């Protein structure tokens, strides 16, 4: 069964189930305190917004997204993918991101993927469907599932802030990589998305920084600049 995090009540109910499944997280939740659900728009616009932010600082990504969405209103996959390359470049998009957005738009247009219905799949199946799209790596897929669709079991194991928070929260000797953290998170199914929200909240309290998801090899974000510099493996 697939669970969704659509409201703060859903998040709190999922957290209660998560703590039952893994009591080690109870002191982590106590330290993190109250935290709210964060959501973004779903569909083509939501996925493109995440793609725009790949490998960029928070401020740069926000500026490009603002220009992109202002230039295309309504933001429709056919209009965007058929736009002139020079127009898209003037908005701040790199050639690889232009190709990614066009390929995603083409996949939506020909029915190869439904970016809303994918949320009804089990997390691993949905993840696989998304990373089959050009320009969508594991981190991008998991962030889309969690923030845009509210998939309760989506887990961005490659996120540097989540990795560092897990190290601190669980007293690990070193920060786990994506593979190690994914294996650790098996105990948190089907509430791995709740665990991600909890770990971000814990990171915020312990590090005393506002936190945003941090893509491996991305430029340092305001929230986790020190940790993001430690990333080595590309995991879009």
User: Topology of domain 8-39+153-228, per CATH?
Assistant: Endonuclease Iii, domain 2 (1.10.1670)
Cβ count near 74 (within 10 Å): 7
Of all helices (H) and strands (E), which one includes residue 226?
Answer: helix 225-228
> What is the pTM for the complete model shown?
0.88
Q: What angle, rounded to 10 degrees, do the helices at 43-52 and 95-109 form?
A: 160
Of all helices (H) and strands (E), which one includes residue 170?
Answer: helix 160-170
CATH superfamily of domain region 43-148: Hypothetical protein; domain 2 (1.10.340.30)
Going residue by residue through the chain (236 aa), what tens digit of pLDDT does each one get?
Answer: 889 999 999 999 999 999 999 999 999 999 999 999 989 999 999 999 999 988 888 889 999 999 999 999 999 999 999 999 999 999 999 999 999 999 999 999 999 999 999 999 999 999 999 999 999 999 999 999 999 999 999 999 999 999 999 999 999 999 999 999 999 999 999 999 999 999 999 999 999 877 667 677 654 333 343 343 333 333 46
C-alpha 44/C-alpha 42 separation (Å) is 7
**In the chain, where the domains are located:** 8-39+153-228, 43-148
């Amino acid at each position: 069964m697939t669970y969704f995090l659509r409201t703060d009540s859903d998040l709190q109910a999922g957290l209660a189930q998560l703590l039952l499944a893994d009591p080690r997280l109870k002191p982590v939740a106590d330290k993190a305190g109250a935290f709210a659900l964060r959501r973004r728009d779903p569909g083509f616009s939501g996925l493109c917004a995440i793609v725009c932010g790949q490998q960029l600082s928070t401020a740069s990504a926000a500026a490009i997204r603002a220009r992109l969405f202002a230039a295309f209103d309504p933001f429709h996959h056919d209009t965007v993918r058929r736009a002139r390359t020079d127009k898209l470049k003037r908005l701040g998009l790199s050639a690889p991101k232009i190709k990614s957005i066009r390929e995603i738009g083409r996949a939506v247009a020909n029915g190869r993927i439904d970016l809303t219905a994918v949320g009804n799949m089990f997390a691993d199946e949905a993840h696989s469907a998304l990373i089959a799209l050009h320009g969508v790596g594991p981190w991008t897929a998991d962030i889309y599932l969690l923030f845009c669709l509210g998939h309760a079991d989506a887990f961005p194991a490659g996120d540097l802030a989540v990795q560092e928070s897990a190290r601190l929260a669980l007293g690990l000797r070193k920060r786990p990589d994506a593979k190690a953290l994914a294996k650790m998170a098996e105990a948190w199914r089907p509430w791995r998305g709740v665990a991600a929200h909890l770990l971000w909240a814990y990171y915020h309290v312990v590090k005393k920084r506002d936190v945003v998801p941090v893509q491996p090899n991305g430029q340092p974000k305001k929230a986790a600049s020190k940790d993001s510099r430690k990333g080595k493996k590309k995991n879009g």
